[in-house]
Amino acid sequence: MIDGVIRGGLVVTPDGVARADIRIEAGVIADVGPELPGETVIDARELHILPGVIDVHLHFNEPGRSDWEGAETGSRALAAGGGTLFFDMPLNSTPCTLDAAQFDRKREALEASSITDFGIWGGLVPDNRSSMAELAARGVVGFKAFLCDSGLPEFPRADDVTLYEGMLEAAGLDCPVGVHAESDEITRELSRRLAGQGKSAIEEFLQSRPILAELEAIERATLIARETGCRLHIVHISCGRGVVLAAEARARGADVSIETCAHYLFFTEDDVERLGALAKCAPPLRSREQRDALWGKLEDGTIDIVASDHSPAPVSMKTGDFRRAWGGIAGAQSTLAVVLDRGHHGRGIPLERIVTLLCLHPAERFRIAGKGTIAPGHDADFVLVDLYSSFTLRNDDLQYRHPISPYAGQTFRGVVRHTVRRGEIIFYNGGFPAASKGRLVHPTP
């Protein structure tokens, strides 16, 4: 535990970058300013200090599928990438988080294994509307719905009536709904038609999930959100056109937040041909033009949040037959690296904008008090970065249960030296000295 001063770092907040000391007492920031009294615990004069990254969208799969990824390995990966808090999705754990009993099982599993703090998403599926109030009372950060096949039969898609009634319920509970926005009708029918046409498996997959499927689902979800008064969070928008459509709905009065993911900012559909199943995800990777459009919308403030959608699987499910491979990117360790390297160093995006996307907006949108920025009274959650050093990510560096990722082999500028969660160093130069476990966070009114 740090009880003392982090000395002389370049402190990054949404308001700017300034050299300052940070004094920590009992896991909380006591003061920020020059020449603070107290024992120097970390000399940060060569480092930038950012708030801890908050990943609002990942799948650590506990309980039930920890052989895919559990919070023990997953939270270490997150910490190695500068993360101090994650929100775990209601799938792919078994059972999925669809009622209070399943919430309690997940909370118990994460408290036993995670070194970072965590929040928990509940699910929105047909026939669980009656459980939403008890999930809200437990402290879910929101309710997740799939508008297309989730890939897991135990988490069926939300049809329009389910989505409408679920959003009505969520609005009454003052909880957001997060949607995976792809049209089931379009993706399912195109998949059926493309089968047997002699195309490669990769061609079939990319053509069966066109941008249109995403746009149709975004338009439908934003319409229902506006009609019901529900707070809507659209997860992992993969294309600039999708961001524009969501932003237009926001301008018309819908309460919509917009998330994209690091892999949509880094890779393109050409990389699917190169990497195969390692780069299979839904929505799929898009063209270079759509990737560049996403960066433009990130720079101009339209995109609110960048997350990982870390959705790992055993090696056997990410190799071999592309059609049967699991659709998910292993990326929780690389979100900050991508945004610093390609965003700050590559495009000149200010660090203030980066911490707004990765830290402040996640805490504000999901109403997590005491997180998301560096200020007195907030939790002492930081990542200390050597901003101008570079590293090449190797499979051996990955902390995942299955050390595979499409980012392996890529070089990034910006090295995480320390990650601090509530005043405790949980990652330091490749090691994990944490003595305590993470805690559940929940929204405040």
The string of DSSP codes covering 255-279 is -EEEEEEHHHHH--HHHHHHHGGGG
4-49+378-400+409-428 under CATH 3.40.50.300, yes or no: no
Amino acid 224: pLDDT = 98
Query: CB burial class (10 A; 0-12, 13-18, 19+) of residue 394?
Result: exposed
What is the DSSP code (8-state) at residue 284? P
Helix segments in 114-239, DSSP class H? 132-138, 160-173, 184-194, 201-208, 211-228
Amino acid 212: pLDDT = 98
* Rounded average pLDDT over 365-375: 98
For the cut 90, the answer to whether the pLDDT of residue 284 exceeds it is yes
Residues carrying CATH 2.30.40.10, the chain: 4-49+378-400+409-428
Amino acid 220: pLDDT = 98
For the whole prediction, is pTM greater than 0.85?
A: yes
The confidence band for 338, taking pLDDT boundaries of 50, 70 and 90, is very high
Comparing 8-12, 244-248, 316-320, 435-439, which segment has the lowest mean pLDDT? 316-320
Largest CA distance in the chain: 72
Using alpha carbons, select from 426, 435, 422, 418 the residue that is nearest to residue 42. 418
Amino acid 320: pLDDT = 85
The confidence band for 50, taking pLDDT boundaries of 50, 70 and 90, is very high
* Rounded average pLDDT over 145-156: 96
Amino acid 445: pLDDT = 85
For the cut 90, the answer to whether the pLDDT of residue 1 exceeds it is no
Using alpha carbons, select from 290, 244, 246 the residue that is nearest to residue 267. 290
Amino acid 229: pLDDT = 98
Cα torsion 283, 285, 290, 295: sign: positive
How high does pLDDT run on average in the chain? Answer: 97
Domain at 52-365: CATH code:
3.20.20.140
Using alpha carbons, select from 242, 118, 137 the residue that is nearest to residue 179. 242
Q: 2 with 21: CB under 8 angstroms?
A: no
For the cut 90, the answer to whether the pLDDT of residue 56 exceeds it is yes
CA distances, 77 to each of 74, 80, 187, 335 (Å): 5, 5, 33, 11
Using alpha carbons, select from 296, 286, 323, 293 the residue that is nearest to residue 210. 286
Residues carrying CATH 3.20.20.140, the chain: 52-365
CB atoms within 10 A of CB 212: 13
Share of the chain above pLDDT 90, in %: 98
Say which amino acid occupies 41.
V
* Rounded average pLDDT over 134-144: 98
Using alpha carbons, select from 15, 32, 379 the residue that is nearest to residue 6. 32
